[in-house]
Structure 1
Amino acid sequence: MALTNRGQYLCVAFLFILAICSSQASSRQIYDEKTTLSLNEFADLTNEEFREIRNVDWREKGAVTPIKDQGKCGWCWVFSAVAATEGVNQLKTGNLISLSEQELGVNGTSCNTQKAASQTVSINGYENVPKNNKNAMLQAVANQPISVAIDTSGCTFQFYSSGVFTGTCGINLDHGAGLVVMGLNTGWGGILGARWGESGYVTMQRGIPAKEGLCGIAIEASYPTA
């Protein structure tokens, strides 16, 4: 059966990558006959792009404010959006400003009403990461903190305390979070609450077969532009 154009492209790309890697290995005389190469989620990236996204922690780069406790405020999307906005503003201006979630909330909620609006920031708009495109998400979070939605309904999420989360969950998105960490080995890092998980963070497994990502994390990702 004839290969499709995409199949031909992937095969050619793979052979090209294999040729480059073999050339580099030969020049360094470290070729390992047991090494196995195959197409994976990084196959459509250039080697330069791959190196850029291997490990990004926006906390270490000063683009993330200390964890905020959502408490009984049900507007998790606000905390997610604010975290991403704080991040892109820091990258744009060099100043990390803690913004008020209440400014984006509505009257009658149980969010903290102590408004900290003495400082404001502006953004130009926002971009949606293509749905179920984990590569696009990798590239987005390599540039700035982003907003994601995940399914946290399972008991394993409720009692999570540390380590790479590999628990059972679906794709019924019920919680907004900020994605601020990305690494090949450590997985996704998302903000959920100050007194929960790893000091407010969860490290989620990457590389699962499902196109939606673990707990649907790749379904509704977005980020502000400035």
Structure 2
Amino acid sequence: MLLLMILLPGLLLPAGPGAALGAGALRDLEDARDPAALEAARFALESYSREADERRGPARLGAIRRAQAQGSYHPVNLTVLPCRTWKEKNRYIFRVVNGIKYYLDVTLLLTSPCSQDGFANQDAAVCENPVEPEQLACHFEVWSQPWMNRKRLVKQECRPAEPSEKVQSAASLEPEEPTRAKAPEEPLRSEALSQNASIQLISLFNDFLTTYKKSYEDERETKRRLQIFAENLEKARTIQELDQGTAEYGVTKFSDLTEDEFRSLYLNPLLAKLPARPMKPAAIPSDPPPAEWDWREHGAITGVKDQGMCGSCWAFSVTGNVEGQWFLRRGTLVSLSEQELVDCDGLDHACGGGLPSNAYEAIEQLGGLETEGDYSYEGHKQSCSFSTSKVAVYINSSVEISRDETEIAAWLAKNGPISIALNAFAMQFYRKGVSHPFRLLCNPWMIDHAVLLVGYGTRGRTPFWAIKNSWGKNWGEQGYYYLYRGSRACGMNTMCSSAVVD
């Protein structure tokens, strides 16, 4: 491993100036005023203005009609990185990532030269009878390397705007005279802000505080969380540009947490550190799987739960699986107790993490699981208060399921939801859509989160796995994560298992 870490920086470098580039998906930016798109448009405008005929007068940005972005990277032979944290990944990512290209369709407003200094010799009749400023429809392509503060205008095409492309001159995105922004209102006091904090950042942070009912103990902590929030926006933006699926990343309930805080409070590092208990292999159905399947539509899935600030995802993954197995064998859907496992599973480490394979064995040793109602979730370890008289379900054994994704789908469709584990690299900032993270950053041997695989299908042309998470309904798509299917994304196939109920 040490040798690999020493050699990796060199191996990740491109072969030479002519090295081929791989490209991420070309994606539409839903908001044309996206900060990155607006920044690229302003850069293109500056470059255009330097080369434009000065007798036309300066131009202003009237509208961004369409904005698209595409990340490019140097292909490498390695499929994994020997690093876990964002800081460690940053040491390698920008050797791989070549840049981000923005494709912009904009409308420019040309200011009348009569109002500008240096045009005293203009025809007086023209200047005394001004007309609406000319509008241009332009296509710009801007190459950006934000981590190096580098931009380049690689393509520029401008022509007179068609009626459908014109905007009212008063609707310019760039005011002719700068205006003083109003001070932000509560919940964030202006004195708690850095002088360099942008109005947009403040607005996003205020919305975040309101949406997720966040508050901090004092002004110093507020400043610190604002800084973390700003850094996380940049991380989310990088993940967004490198994603190869249809996912949207951005502000989530975890946007004020450092990576270390997020990992220690919500993830499960033991999944990658401890060997799983050996289990017998599951029999794979011989029939090909149906094109799509979702156990939510067949009554086998309870509502989304919230593990809170406790690394107990392993318990939620296993109880979700047992709930499905009991439903399929006994016809009753029962919400089961994760707290029983947190308190009474002596093979695992409660909020410090655990393994699904151990949890199955613990359930067998205890004699079963109580219901959520009888043994409610507290989100921290307590003394075990399990009672055999309150056992609602039991299991007989457990099985390990194939790593082949087609076989996983076949087993799931016939036998029920599956406990799986994956690398949660992209999940801190996931909002919706089908996530397909850059493989170098979401490698399969650094799994750190256990979840429940409930189905699969296709959105448009994008195949996906439907995954029930345990971070509450106010995360992701009503508590669900959709991950690209067919490329073993984020190691989702490396630890698939299920309880067996006879």
TM-score normalised over the length of structure 2: 0.32
Q: Could you say which residue in structure 2 is the equivalent of 1:127? A: 399
Q: Please give the secondary structure, in 1, of the residue aligned with 2:298.
A: coil
Give distance in 2, aligned partners of 1:88 and 1:159: 31
The corresponding residue for 1:224 is 499
Which of 319, 322, 329 in structure 2 is aligned with 1:92? 329
Report the CA distance shift for 1:176/1:187 in structure 2 as closer, same or farther (over 3 A).
Answer: same
- Residue 215 of structure 1 aligns with which residue? 490
Cα deviation, 1:9-41, whole Å, max 9, x if unaligned, reads: xxxxxxxxxxxxxxxxxxxxxxxxxxxxxxxxx
Opposite residue 486 of structure 2, the aligned amino acid is: G
SS in 2 for 1:106: helix
Give the AA of the match of 1:123.
I
Letter in 2 for 1:170: N
What residue number does 2:435 align with?
165
Q: Which residue among 460, 471, 476 is the counterpart of 1:197?
A: 476
Q: Answer yes or no: is 1:49 the counterpart of 2:328.
A: no
**Counterpart secondary structure, 1:121:** coil
Q: Structure 1 residue 119: deviation in Å?
A: 5.2
What's 1:36 paired with? none
Q: Is the Cα–Cα contact under 8 Å of residues 150 and 175 in structure 1 kept in the other structure?
A: yes
Amino acid across the alignment from 2:464: G
Shift of 1:178: 0.3
- Residue 455 of structure 2 aligns to which amino acid in structure 1? V
Alpha-carbon contact 1:179-1:190 (below 8 Å) kept: yes
Instruction: Classify 1:147/1:82 alpha carbon distance in 2 versus 1 (closer, same or farther; 3 Å).
Output: same
Matches within 5 A, 1:1-226: 49-50=287-288, 52-106=289-343, 109=351, 111=379, 118=390, 120-130=392-402, 132-143=403-414, 144-152=416-424, 154=425, 156-168=426-438, 169-171=442-444, 172-185=446-459, 186-192=463-469, 193-194=471-472, 195-208=474-487, 213-226=488-501
Pair 1:100–1:170, CA change in 2 (3 A): same
CA–CA distance in structure 2, aligned partners of residues 158 and 66 of structure 1: 21
Counterpart in the other structure of 1:23: none
User: How far did residue 199 of structure 1 move?
Assistant: 0.6
Superposition deviation, residue 55 in structure 1: 1.3
CA distance in 1 between counterparts of 2:420 and 2:304 reads 16
Tell me, in whole angstroms, the C-alpha distance in 1 between the residues paired with 2:455 and 2:409.
Answer: 10
Structure 2 SS opposite 1:224: strand
Residue segments in structure 2 that go unaligned for 5+ positions in a row: 1-283, 345-349, 352-377
Does the 8 Å contact 1:127/1:225 carry over to 2?
yes
Q: How many residues align?
A: 173
Identity over the aligned pairs, expressed in percent? 34
Distance 1:217 1:188, change over 3 A: same
CA-based RMSD? 2.6
Q: Deviations over 1:152-208 (max 9, x none)?
A: 0x2x32111111111231220100000001225541111222121001101111122
C-alpha distance in 1 between matches for 2:307 and 2:319: 12
1:147 maps to amino acid: S
Matches of 2:337 and 2:386, distance apart in 1: 5
Larger radius of gyration: 2
Q: Specify the SS of the correspondent of 2:321.
A: helix
Distance of 2:301 and 2:498 partners within structure 1: 14
Taking the aligned partners of 1:218 and 1:80, their CA distance within structure 2 comes to 15
More helix, by proportion: 2
In 1, the alpha carbon distance for the partners of 2:295 and 2:343 equals: 29
Q: TM-score, normalised by structure 1?
A: 0.69
Name the amino acid aligned to 1:139: A
Contact persistence 1:102–1:111 (CA under 8 A): yes
